[in-house]
């Protein structure tokens, strides 16, 4: 699989998932638009890989919730690299919050970072893709679009919104050769602390809730992103692909695969 001369827009390139995706796609010949809140400081190693691959990257730091900023940035990037071929929305902002005590401001912030940004980026990148009748939009979402966290309800609500955004976009944009899919990422290392809950036991001994007792890593995500970005996935549209090793299928503690 290769993405030779394809322009890939990653919405959060500083995150662990963003860096893993960038490392994997750099070897495929892609060019990059990287939204980096560190201004590229956290991406020194990955940017070196892009350079060594003989490719190009533009690093930006914009507010993805402002449509004018996103549109202006993509117009500028088009003059440097070309229009967007692949949009990878991988924003993940988790705020500990309960329905009983949650603040309205936190609710709005979570929806903005996780869901509103997905809509704005989809609209802007979709316009460029529509003109050339092709494109890939990939939302890196979460199993918590389906399963409550018990600790960060605004995150579940936001990812649930992205799930339906994907369905609506795949139906509308699919008419122009654009495929839109969602990856529902399951547990990786540290998620037991991120989603620590006083009312849910989902993340208790969570590594053993995966049938093979092995947590996923961001490199697993990057491999799937590469496939969905490539021409090999041309008939996949409107899908929610659960990448959790079978985590959500677990239901009997005494059947765990323990050492």
* Domain edges within the chain: 7-255
- pLDDT value of residue 31: 97
CATH number of 7-255: 3.40.50.720
Q: What is the mean pLDDT of the chain?
A: 95
**Burial (Cβ within 10 Å: 0-12, 13-18, ≥19) of residue 45:** exposed
**Per-residue tokens: 223:** 């491999």
pLDDT over threshold 80, residue 199: yes
Q: Which of 4-18, 85-99, 115-129, 196-210 comes out lowest in average pLDDT?
A: 196-210
The HSE-up count of residue 1 (CA atoms within 13 Å, CB side) is 16
Q: For 128-169, what is each residue's pLDDT tens digit?
A: 999 999 999 999 999 999 999 999 999 999 999 999 999 999
């Amino acid at each position: 699989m290769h993405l030779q001369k394809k322009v890939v827009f990653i919405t959060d390139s500083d995150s662990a998932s963003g860096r893993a995706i960038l490392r994997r796609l750099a070897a495929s010949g892609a060019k990059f638009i990287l939204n980096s809140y560190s201004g590229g400081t956290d991406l020194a190693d990955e940017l070196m890989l892009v350079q060594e691959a003989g490719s190009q990257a533009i690093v930006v730091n914009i507010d993805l919730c402002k449509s004018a900023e996103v549109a202006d940035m993509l117009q500028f990037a088009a003059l440097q690299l070309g229009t967007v071929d692949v949009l990878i929305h991988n924003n993940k902002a988790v705020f500990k919050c309960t329905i009983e005590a949650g603040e309205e401001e936190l609710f709005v912030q979570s929806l903005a970072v996780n869901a509103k940004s997905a809509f704005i980026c989809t609209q802007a990148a979709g316009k460029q893709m529509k003109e050339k009748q092709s494109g890939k939009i990939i939302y890196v979402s979460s199993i918590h679009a389906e399963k409550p966290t018990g600790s960060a309800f605004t995150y579940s609500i936001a990812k649930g919104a992205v799930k339906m955004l994907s369905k609506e976009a795949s139906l509308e944009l699919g008419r122009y050769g654009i495929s839109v899919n969602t990856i529902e990422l399951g547990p990786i290392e540290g998620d037991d602390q991120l989603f620590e809950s006083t009312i849910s036991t989902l993340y208790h001994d969570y590594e053993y809730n995966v049938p093979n007792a092995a947590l996923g890593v961001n490199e697993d995500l990057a491999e799937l992103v590469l496939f969905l970005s490539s021409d090999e996935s041309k008939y996949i549209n409107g899908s929610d692909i659960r990448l959790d090793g079978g985590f959500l299928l677990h239901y009997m503690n005494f059947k765990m695969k323990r050492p």
